[in-house]
Structure 1
């Protein structure tokens, strides 16, 4: 991943880098890898996330159909 520093503006380049890292999911991955997660816990977490995504999609479809 690269960020171009223009006119010695390091602060702006740092903001751009942080935004790119967040969009790629690096921060989320670091948080998950901070501690060991049992495979059963990982499955349960992923299953719960899938359910919440499905519910959100259903809400959006229901709102669009109104």
Structure 2
């Protein structure tokens, strides 16, 4: 994994790195490996994850086909058109 540091901005690079690690599931993996997990617990967890993934895929498909309503979209704030500021228009 690689993160570029621009203009010696280490704080921003750390934020980007943390976000990438979060997406990859590294933190979840580290937390899971702190303690031993019995094989039966592991099978149960993996089965529950598979069920969750299947339900999510079915829900997305139903939304795409119009069978159920999707999540409500947030209204976007209106933006001013780019151009000269009003004070400099004279």
For normalisation by structure 2, the TM-score amounts to: 0.67
**How many residues end up aligned between the 2 structures?**
66
More displaced stretch, 54-63 vs 36-45: 54-63
Equivalent positions of 1:20-59 (< 5 A) are 20-59=20-59
Structure 2 residues without counterparts, runs of 5 or longer: 67-90
Q: How far 1:33 moved relative to its partner?
A: 0.4
Distance 2:4 2:41 in 1: 40
Q: How far 1:4 moved relative to its partner?
A: 2.1
Which secondary structure does the structure 2 equivalent of 1:2 belong to? coil
Say which structure is richer in helix. Answer: 1
